[in-house]
Amino acid sequence: MSSKRQALRADVQEEIQNRLMQGDWRPGARLSIDGLARDLDVSPTPVREALAALERSELITYQPLKGFVVAPPLTAEQIGELIDARLVVELAAFTRAFGTWQALLDDLREAYAEHARIAEQIAGEPKPDYALFHAYFEADNAFHEAFFRHAGNHYLASMRDVLNAHGHRMRQTWSEGPERIDAADALAEHAEILARVEEHNHDGAQAALRRHLEGVRERSGGAASLPGA
């Protein structure tokens, strides 16, 4: 494959993935290769290649006679496994990030303030739209992203990117209403993590992060870890 063709495929894949992450299509929606090619003003070939690559990320699936469709939300078992993976990766990144304590603290304070601002905005809207929910999830994600930005480990950051794609599927219940957004609980748990970091208390912040992710598991309906996991 030529470098020019690879670049085009990468651009098409990024655009489709962005649309998936922004909720442009509901779970189960069919993704037409020809329709996307017309919309993106490219030939069907890079679209087909991009969809095949995205299938490997499990954001979309291929169904006989129907073609590529948006993947369904995660099951309880899959959510449980996702949280298990997040516990391993985020706790490891957090320990490394603590070595740059002041920079980590500054970023966590900024991310927390933005998260709280958007949560307050959602609470004040009778019918928040998806754009606002998306902004909320991005702000929530930014708090956790700070661990990886300061961890200084490219491979941990790559693992985080993979988990983020699956986390999008866990958030696909946004249309069921603001009662499904765990803003109050998440903000309280983030505040506890931040407070322990402000105290320069690594072990306390680690414990708070673990409690937060276990809370996310419970609120999301994820299956519990196996004994000893």
Report yes or no on 196 lying in a domain: yes
- Amino acid occupying residue 160: R
C-alpha span between 172 and 124 (Å, rounded):
22
Do 47 and 99 have their domain in common?
no
**Domain C-terminal end among 39, 70, 101:** 70
Report yes or no on 16 lying in a domain: yes
Q: Please give the average per-residue pLDDT across 171-187, as a whole number.
A: 65
Average pLDDT, the chain: 87
Do 130 and 22 have their domain in common?
no
Do 90 and 28 have their domain in common?
no
Do 188 and 173 have their domain in common?
yes
Task: State the DSSP H helix or E strand holding residue 124, giving kind and residue range, or none if neither.
Answer: none
Provide the pLDDT confidence category of residue 52 given band limits of 50, 70 and 90.
very high
What one-character-per-residue DSSP string does 21-87 give? Answer: HTTSS-TT-B--HHHHHHHHTS-HHHHHHHHHHHHHTTSEEEETTTEEEEPPPPPHHHHHHHHHHHH
Report yes or no on 30 lying in a domain: yes
Domain span at residue 122 reads 76-219
**Domain C-terminal end among 50, 70, 90:** 70
- Read off the CATH number of the domain in which 206 is found: 1.20.120.530
**Domain C-terminal end among 70, 87, 105:** 70
* pLDDT tens per residue across span 19-28: 887 677 888 8
**Helix 76-97 crosses helix 130-149 at what angle (to 10 degrees)?**
40
C-alpha span between 113 and 94 (Å, rounded):
19
Report yes or no on 225 lying in a domain: no
Q: What is the pLDDT of residue 164?
A: 82
- Read off the CATH number of the domain in which 66 is found: 1.10.10.10
Q: Please give the average per-residue pLDDT across 60-87, as a whole number.
A: 91
**Residue 187, Cβ density class (10 Å: 0-12 exposed, 13-18 middle, ≥19 buried):** middle
The domain total for the chain is 2
* pLDDT tens per residue across span 88-103: 999 999 999 999 999 9
Q: What is the pLDDT of residue 175?
A: 45
Do 90 and 25 have their domain in common?
no
- Return the top range by mean pLDDT from 130-134, 182-186, 224-228: 182-186
Q: What is the pLDDT of residue 73?
A: 80
Do 130 and 209 have their domain in common?
yes
Do 97 and 184 have their domain in common?
yes
Distance of CA 150 to the CA centre of its chain: 18
* pLDDT tens per residue across span 101-142: 999 999 999 999 999 999 999 888 887 776 787 788 889 999
Provide the pLDDT confidence category of residue 174 given band limits of 50, 70 and 90.
very low
- Amino acid occupying residue 84: D
Using CA atoms of 30, 34, 39, 44 in order, give the dihedral in degrees to the nearest 10.
120
Q: What is the pLDDT of residue 226?
A: 53
Q: Which of 119, 118, 229, 130 is nearest to 182 (CA)?
A: 119
Do 57 and 91 have their domain in common?
no
Q: Please give the average per-residue pLDDT across 201-220, as a whole number.
A: 95
